[in-house]
Each structure stands twice: as C-alpha cells, then as structure tokens.
Amino acid sequence: MTMGTRRAFAGVLIFVGWSISAGFSVVDATSSAKTQAKGDVVDHPRGCIAIHQEKGGLVQFEVFLIEPTQRLVPIEAYRISVTIPGKLTPVWVAQGEDYSSTHRITYGVAPTGFKEQVPPEQLMPGISYRVVVRSFSVGGIQRVFLHEGGEKRNTCPWDGRPQS
C-alpha cells in the first residue's frame, strides 16, 4: 500500500469511527435535511404563484400552497426562473444560497440570500412569460402570464387552476 493510499484509508476509518461513535450517519444527515426542508405537507399539495403587475412594469410573484380546504397558505421559494414559452434561454434566474428562500419575489431583484444566475432582461408588454419557482414545501410550481406593462393582478384561484 502506498503512503497516499494509507492516508486515504486512515481518513475513511476515522470518519466511519466518528460516525459510529457519534451515532451519526451520512444517510441520517441526508434524511434529516430532507425532512427539515420539506416540513409537514399534505400528500398531494397544490401550489400557486400570484402575480402582481404594477404601473411602470414592476412585477412581483408570491408563492402559495392551496390546501384541500381551498385556503391559501404562503410558502417560500428557493429558486425562480422566468422564460418565454417555447424558448430555451431564460430571461432571468435567481436561486437562494445556503437554503435561503422567500415568499415574495420582485422580477429582476434577487432577494436577500439569493444569487442571480441569469441577469434579468426587460419584460416586454404583450409578451407571455412562464415563471417557475422551486419550493422545499411543494417542489416545482409554474404559471404563464401575459405581461401588460400596467396594473394587473393574477391571483390564485380557489380551484387550484391558475389562469393568466
């Protein structure tokens, strides 16, 4: 056995010994992180993105869970992507670092703890956009909306089927 191989093997033994003595395993850590990230959710949750368009073109997204009782519960997203349907290249992508997440996101403004992966392009009135968010609570949620460049509210409907 070479010196490098012995060191690597010794490192593995030390890690395994520490894991056993601490009553900790990598599987336990992964399982625990997933449990903490998901929280208590219903078997088949439905999500919705409410879209608020302000005068001057400002667009805000809010993420909700629609409970079986049709009650809207605010949830947080850790990633947002905005694309034009039918095009592969996104017009904006931002993602939380170190498990950062938020309930409300303004287009083109990376929330605290988020990092832009694709800088924002200007949204054009009369163009449809697809917004996709990822949430620890419900996975992925998407919605298509028509950017109007003025005041418009696209709320979450009570039947769970968002319309633009």
Q: Helix or strand or coil: residue 47? A: strand
Q: Which domain does 33 fall in, by range?
A: 3-38
Do residues 129 and 111 share a domain?
A: yes
Do residues 51 and 122 share a domain?
A: yes
State how far the alpha carbon of 81 is from the alpha carbons of 12, 33, 87, 155, in Å.
Answer: 40, 24, 13, 19
Do residues 131 and 88 share a domain?
A: yes
Please indicate whether residue 5 or residue 17 has the higher confidence score (pLDDT): 5
The answer to the question of residue 10 being in a domain is yes
Do residues 10 and 56 share a domain?
A: no
Report d(CA 70, CA 158) in Å as an integer: 6
pTM (two decimals): 0.68
Report d(CA 31, CA 111) in Å as an integer: 28
Task: Give pLDDT, residue 99.
Answer: 87
Do residues 70 and 11 share a domain?
A: no
Q: For 108-132, write each residue's pLDDT tens digit.
A: 999 999 999 999 999 999 999 999 9
